[in-house]
Structure 1
Amino acid sequence: MLLQGKRLLVTGVLTDSSIAYNVARIAQEQGAEIVLTGFGRGLTITRTVAERLPAPCDVLEMDVTEPDHLERVADGLQRRWGRLDGVVHATAFAPASTLGGGFLTARWEDVATAFHVSTYSFAAFGRVFGPLLAASEHGSLVGLDFDADRAWPGYDWMGVAKAGLESCCRYLARELGPQGVRVNLVAAGPLRTVAAKSIEGFAASEQLWPRLAPLGWDVADTEPVGRVVCALLSGWLPAVTGEVLHVDGGAHAIGAPALDGPGKESTEAKELA
């Protein structure tokens, strides 16, 4: 029971294929008590999906772009629990104009929305929930990431927002470390979630990844990512902060698909060219 007695806030549960859903499920199975968040039309959906978890849990309304929402949730959790052992930031959004080849044409207003939801909100979580996490023995803030070291087809401004998220993680780790709070990101390989399906070019990454990953990669299986997030939420990694942990089958470490022989490209490599 890795998370026995832990009290966690999990954002981003929209369907049972969401990474955040598997985080919540595994956390409950490992003994945690959780609260979910949702907002707008998605709030009803999150409440419906929450019923599929192993144990009933509350779903609070929280739009990450609304400071009042963040403060209200923090105040409610202070009254309910008096502390938070972990917070999962599984929140990202970019308008369609900023994706799918819109890097040079996207308006600043749309880019700003992507940064507000996907990057700045992580720092806002640290500011608002930091005191609650500091009240825990092993407070942990964990965000979801996608490899921002390279430019991916169709990812465009979301890729830039994720690069900002990685930098934000390091600064938050610096700011919250003295309070005993750890801040980390988990960079997942491509997974067939609702958000991913809306990104033009996702199919290319989906096909490429299993060929690159030494351990292989199943785009339909979010459990490996959920397990690592839960490990970071636990007290088993007390000296790890400011990190981006790649859970991608090892693809981030590989430059190209394997060769069939010396100087000879494999059939798969030719197909990717």
Structure 2
Amino acid sequence: MNFSGKIEYWEQSTNGTWSLFAVNPSDNFSVYNFCGKFGSCNLNDNKLPCKCLPGFMPHVPQKWYSGDFSDGCTKNLMSCGDTFLNLKMMNIGRKPEQSHQVGNETECKELCLKNCDCSYTYDEKSCLIWTQELVNLQEEYVEGYNLSIRVAISDIEPTVQNCEPCGTNMIPYPLSTSSNCGDPMYFSFNCNTTSGQVSFKALGGTYRVASIYQNTSKFFIQVMDVGSLRLNQSLPFNLTTPRNSSSNVSSRVTDDVEIVWEPPLEPLCNLPADCKD
């Protein structure tokens, strides 16, 4: 065991020299509940090791933003909402508290609604329900659950013009993943409803969005060849300096590229509902 508490496996060669063969845990995500309660990790994200689920915020912001995610996340609003955040391909580090045989997903949802803090997954008449905090969450897990978490609609769709979350990704206005939400000038994003991942469409191709920061109007995309990245100059997106990835999680991605978006124009109020926000 080394000074950081990791177990190292060494092997000796025929000439007597020793070399490091393996380390356990091999990365942060091998540490149980590294991202804390209601915090999700994604092995394909180089820049952001953990993020709170939509509708949740860091329980201890000072520790979270300094890189200590162990306290996890808590709901923005503690009221019981009747809306469900739908997440795809999620691995959950805790067994469900309830298991029911039901006729359809609606019956499963109704059982879940009996508890203020609940999450459920439905598959072929099997209804699994969690009533305690979700821990050790991992995105894009091949054999993972399609998970529905009870939240308040105001936490995941703060305005009528916001797009719905895409998996664990909030889509802040004016960004758009559909022609019926966000600002049409910012309709350069796509939501993969199977994996819950967001992609950005540029002239040079389509790129995976690693993270979105509403407060600073920027997002990061993952690019193998920065030289091939070209943005449409007529759209409100600007490329900043590419930054080499220093993550050891994945060697498939070479760069996290930062893109900023310009402030939108005042939205049109064609309907009374459009003018509420």
The structure where strand makes up a greater share of residues is 2
| Same structural fold, with TM-score higher than 0.5 when normalized by the shorter chain | no
- TM-score relative to the length of structure 1: 0.27
The structure where helix makes up a greater share of residues is 1
- TM-score relative to the length of structure 2: 0.26
Q: Name which structure has the greater RCO, CA cutoff 8 Å, separation 6+.
A: 1
Which of these two proteins has the greater Rg computed from alpha carbons?
2
